[in-house]
Amino acid sequence: MGDSTPPRAWNGYGARQATKGAGYYVIDGGDGNVASVTVGETAQAVDDSTRLAADWVRESAADLVEGSPEVTAGEVRVRAQR
């Protein structure tokens, strides 16, 4: 991640979520743009993660977010790994 991304925006929350049935990734898009991706084994795991993320942002990082987050949900169609 670039130096412009505050560590608290990705540090503690992601570590907690990775243990709750959902993988959590933060993408630094540069110029202050950050996106997160949650991948879970079930739709419920992703829904729970999304709800917890919203709670966490309100409590811990509201000053880092402009406007409402955009949430997109869907099924993984292609998976590749080494």
Instruction: Answer whether residue 13 is part of any domain.
Output: yes
pLDDT reported for residue 4: 52
pTM of the model: 0.63
Residues spanned by the domain of 54: 7-64
β-pairing, 33-40 with 22-30?
A: antiparallel
Give φ, ψ of 77 to 5 degrees. -105, -30
Instruction: Answer whether residue 74 is part of any domain.
Output: no
- Dump pLDDT digits (tens) for 8-21: 555 556 655 555 66
pLDDT reported for residue 1: 45
Instruction: Answer whether residue 73 is part of any domain.
Output: no
pLDDT reported for residue 2: 46
- What CA–CA distance (Å, rounded) separates 26 from 68? 17
For the chain, give the number of residues: 82
How many domains, the chain? 1
- Dump pLDDT digits (tens) for 21-78: 677 787 888 887 778 888 888 888 888 888 887 887 788 777 877 877 788 888 889 9
